[in-house]
Amino acid sequence: PRLIGVDNACEWICGGQQKRSADAMKDGAVDAVVAAANVVSSAEHLLQQVLDGKLDYQARRERLQAAMEFSPIEKMMIFESVRAVVGAKAGRHYPAPMEAIKSVEKGIFQTIDKAIETEIKGFVKMAKSPVARSLVGLFLNDQLVKKTASKYTKGVEPVSHAAVLGAGIMGGGIAYQSASKGTPIVMKDIRQEALDLGMNEASKLFGKQVERGKLSSEKAMQGLGKITPVLSYGELSAVDLVVEAVVENPKIKQSVLAETEAQLKEGAILASNTSTISITHLAEALKHPENFCGMHFFNPVHRMPLVEVIRGEKTSEATIAKTVAYAQALGKTPIVVNDCPGFLVNRVLFPYFAGFSALLKDGADYQAVDKVMERFGWPMGPAYLLDVVGIDTAYHADQVMADGFPDRMGHDGENAIDRFYALKRFGQKSGSGFYQYEADRKGKPKKLASAEAQGLIQSLHGEHQTFADEEIIARMMIPLCIETARCLEENIVASAAEADMGLVYGIGFPPYLGGALHYMDQMGLAAFCEMADRFKHLGKLYEPTQAMRAMAAEQRTYHQY
């Protein structure tokens, strides 16, 4: 603050952004910016100015070590403005930026030595906080996940040419990601209009990069040129890896996969972008199941960092390794999981949705549930998330999950998702779901309240009942956390670190909580099991496993940081 002023200092400290040299010069953080070749000569010139008495560095140092002077009005205006801006960006779950402002506010009226003591006290307080433990844990987990992925790819030949089956938004997103990272890709579909949609999606994404100044028009055109749209299988004969991204229907997928396999060169990898369907089941249609695995991208592909690489019963380790390498080449974080309905992320997500459906059945207002869960730290509430995912997608995935885990994920009678699916209220894609959608000025879907949706749910479940925020949070989080523990126990995911990072990267699990397993560690497994037992009347989704109860009795945790 003494160097660049309170406003700039709070923005630098709380934002945590890297600064370009020109910006640092503009803000007064540095005295000069010179070319790298002139650094030594410029430093020598500066020292000479000091020796010649032209630069009084000691007077400047004394000024910077002294307390600053502000009137009460000036102080109030500066810090009220800073708190408002930083508080809005940081949010209620991340206290460090506001604590930093508090330290600055105290420190500017102190000498530098006293101000440093004030800063140390604030830092220690934050370093010992649960949020710091969660965020440090995420950093360590992220390093472990990357290290694990690197072990798979050691000595693996990179994918030099890829393909995606099925254009449209998802296929176009995969094609864009591959082309933008330098791997040429064939995009195949049976309909020209679908190919046009896929190319338009990729073109739009390249265009946004140009608008933001991150890519030149020439580079964008070169990138788009790496995508080859085709209607026939002929162009697939030379590719190293194919990602199937057709409709989420096992019979259609098996038919397309079998047709594609016959066109590929020996040793080429076939991967499915299925979000829930068993890889082992899909592999039954193939002659070489060892060359087949799951490669589950998340939507929107260009933004979501996670890719689940799914190992079927007959998938070879060479296939896993090459698919992990391709995911890394696309700039993604791959996590290898074993096969089961929903794999890791969706297997954990659908119990969360089941908790939501049970709340609606008991009379909860879905808009109130959304607000509570968003305040708790989720990027969007469950109703809005279902609209974004697509009610039709959720409906089909729900059937897969119910068939795979009937004791926990099956349900009797019609729920809101069933009713909306029957009425073709598919969410954002159809313009209506739990909410209504209309395009804003930028053409993006804008969420609006829907009296029709409210009426449909009331006709199913009766009048609204009021629930305390704590009960809503518990009923939503307990099934998700228990299912995450089950995935670890059943070796669907290899480590607690990978499980937690999968949820943070895949579904936006609140980072300040560190992931589902870390969340239970922080609460204490005994306290979590006690909380779950209060809701055991809601069914098996709320029953902790025997292994969880044993860990609770022994006071063990999932993570050992």
Q: In the chain, what are the domains? A: 6-33+66-128 (no CATH), 158-340 (3.40.50.720), 346-424+461-491+524-553 (1.10.1040.50)
Q: What pLDDT score does 469 carry?
A: 98
Nearest to 348 by CA among 519, 552, 92: 519
**Cα–Cα distance measured from residue 560 to residue 408, given in angstroms and rounded to the nearest whole number:** 30
Residue matched to tokens 């228990």: 482
Secondary element (H or E) of residue 165: strand 162-165
Q: 202-217, pLDDT tens digit by residue?
A: 999 999 999 999 999 9
3-state secondary structure of 269: strand
Catalytic, 296? Answer yes
pLDDT for the residue 275:
92
User: Which pLDDT value is given to residue 24?
Assistant: 93
Q: pLDDT tens-digit profile of 499-539?
A: 999 999 999 999 999 999 999 999 999 999 999 999 999 99
Q: Give the model's pLDDT for residue 112.
A: 92
Cβ-proximal residues to 428 (8 Å cutoff; 6+ apart), any chain:
387, 388, 390, 437, 445
Question: In the prediction, which pLDDT does 244 show?
Answer: 97
Contacts of 243 (CB under 8 A, 6+ apart): 162, 163, 164, 165, 174, 271, 272, 273, 295, 297
> Each residue of 85-120: pLDDT tens digit?
999 999 999 999 999 999 999 999 999 999 999 999
CA distance 201 to 299: 13
pLDDT score at 48:
94
Measured between alpha carbons, how far is 61 from 112 in angstroms, rounded to an integer?
10
Beta bridge partners of 446: 438
Of the residues 296, 302, 396, 559, only one is catalytic, namely 296
What is the C-alpha to C-alpha distance for residues 540 and 349, in angstroms, rounded to an integer?
A: 16
pLDDT along the chain (561 residues), means of 10: 90 91 92 92 93 89 88 88 91 94 93 94 96 97 95 94 91 95 96 92 93 93 96 94 94 96 96 95 97 96 96 97 97 97 96 97 97 97 96 94 94 94 96 95 91 94 92 98 98 98 97 98 98 97 98 96 71
CA 490 and chain centroid, separation:
24
Between the alpha carbon of residue 171 and those of residues 94, 186, 258, 301, 333, the distances in Å are 36, 10, 19, 9, 19
d(CA 456, CA 462): 10
CA 28, distance to chain mean position in Å, is 36
**For residue 54, what are the CA distances in angstroms to 42, 45, 49, 50, 330?**
15, 11, 5, 6, 55
Q: Please give the model's pTM, rounded to 2 decimal places.
A: 0.91
